[in-house]
Amino acid sequence: MRTALIAGNWKLNKDHLEAIHLIGDLGLRLSNLDLGRVEVAVHPPFTDLRTVQSLVEGDKLPISLGAQHCSHHHHGAFTGEVSAPMLAKLQTRYVLVGHSERRAMFAMDDQVVHQTAKAVITEGMVAVVCVGETEAEREQGQTLAVLERQVRSAIAGLPDNVADDLVVAYEPLWAIGTGTAATAADAQDACSAIRRVIESTLGTATAGSVRLLYGGSASSANAFELLSGPDVDGLLVGGASLEAQSFCDIIAEAIRCYR
Ligand code: 13P
């Protein structure tokens, strides 16, 4: 049975002092919850990773460490980049790969997404590959075709036994930061389609174990319904993960759903 993953993507928010405060607050609130089959992860900016890792380790907090991006290059003349081995050394468990903001603003195409996913997995971390259609693509009825292209290209050539090293997050661009989430039915349909693509590439066993997340204006008001979809195994949360209270309210809904 798949466990749930509730991951907070902090994006370009929280300097390291703010991160200390947020993790402290989160740790306190999580200590009052019985997480059961729900895993919690945070994806702070690079400059916070060391601090968050120390706090999580020192206080034994039930929080997995995630990064928001990394280079597909190992080392070399790539000013401003951070490599997968560097993140692995910090006990990073999850790395977002190909978030739509990276694709749109930092020229990350399907090929680089694929190479980055491979680099992350090679270092023993979990690649959280982000996929999703734009509003125009959705209006033209291209949602499933876009998802198929993005997923197929990202996982091409990965070994079949990659189930524990791969998560795919469905994040429709029109739902990100807009306050309008996909309906639970749309999220389920998209995740089911993604699972079929994984099945046709990596086989039934892997497809059955890989966790699929939904992201885009997720909140405590819609979390339970979104998570009720049989193919939706978690949430990638942006805005609502920036406050411990609103993030924990979502986690509480996940616990209720996965009881
Ligand atoms: P919001 O939850 O703010 O819509 O952001 C979603 C997202 O992009 C998470 O990666």
Q: What is the pLDDT of residues 208-247, one digit of tens each?
A: 999 999 999 999 999 999 999 999 999 999 999 999 999 9
Q: How far is the CA of 153 from the centre of ligand 1 (A)?
A: 23
Cα–Cα dist 164/176, whole Å: 26
pLDDT at 181: 98
Establish how many alpha carbons lie within 13 A of residue 166's alpha carbon, considering only the half-sphere containing its beta carbon: 27
Residue 197's closest CA among 156, 166, 228, 164?
A: 156
Q: Which atom of ligand 1 is nearest to the CA of 217?
A: 4
Q: Say yes or no to pLDDT of 185 above 90.
A: yes
Quickly list DSSP for 132-145.
---HHHHHTT-HHH
State whether the beta carbon of 230 lies less than 6 angstroms from ligand 1. Answer: no
Going by alpha carbons, the residue nearest to atom 9 of ligand 1 is 238
Residue with the nearest Cα to atom 5 of ligand 1? Answer: 238
Question: Which of 96, 95, 247, 104 has its CA nearest to residue 173?
Answer: 104
Band of pLDDT at residue 160, cut at 50, 70 and 90:
confident
Output the domain CATH number for residue 151. Answer: 3.20.20.70
Average pLDDT over residues 147-158: 97
237 CA closest ligand 1 atom index:
2
For 37-65, what is each residue's pLDDT tens digit? 999 999 999 999 999 999 999 999 999 99
The residue-averaged pLDDT of 156-181 equals 96
176 lines ligand 1 (CB under 6 A): yes
Enumerate the β-bridge partners of residue 129. 97, 168
| Mean pLDDT on 171-199 | 98
Active site residue 171: yes
**Is the predicted pLDDT of residue 94 greater than 90, yes or no?**
yes
Q: Active site residue: 123, 133, 171, 253, which one?
A: 171
Q: Which among 171, 174, 214, 222 is the best mutation to test ligand 1's pocket, defined by most ligand atoms within 8 Å of the CB?
A: 171
The reported pLDDT for the residue numbered 1 is 79
Q: Is the CB of 238 under 6 A from ligand 1?
A: yes
Q: Read off the pLDDT of each residue in 81-90 and give the average, rounded to a whole number.
A: 98
Q: Is residue 105 classed exposed, middle or buried when 0-12, 13-18 and 19+ CB atoms within 10 A define those classes?
A: exposed
Q: Exposed/middle/buried for 187, CB within 10 Å: 0-12, 13-18, 19+?
A: buried
Best mutation site among 97, 176, 219, 250 for ligand 1 pocket (most ligand atoms within 8 Å of CB)? 176
173 lines ligand 1 (CB under 6 A): no
Which residue out of 43, 99, 114, 133 is catalytically annotated?
A: 99
DSSP-derived secondary structure for 52-109: HHHHHHHTT-S-EEEES--BSS-SSS-TT--BHHHHHHTT--EEEES-HHHHHHS---
CA distance 186 to 89: 38
CA 77 – ligand 1 centroid, Å: 31
In this predicted structure, what is the pLDDT of residue 253?
98
E strands present in the chain: 4-9, 38-43, 64-67, 94-97, 126-131, 166-170, 211-215, 234-237
Question: How many structural domains comprise the chain?
Answer: 1
Share of the chain above pLDDT 70, in %: 100
Q: Measured from the CB, is residue 239 less than 6 Å from ligand 1?
A: yes
Choose which residue among 217, 235, 241, 249 to substitute to test ligand 1 binding: the one with the highest number of ligand atoms within 8 A of its C-beta: 217
| Catalytic residue flag (residue 114) | no
Domain that includes residue 156, residue range:
4-257
- Is the pTM higher than 0.95? yes
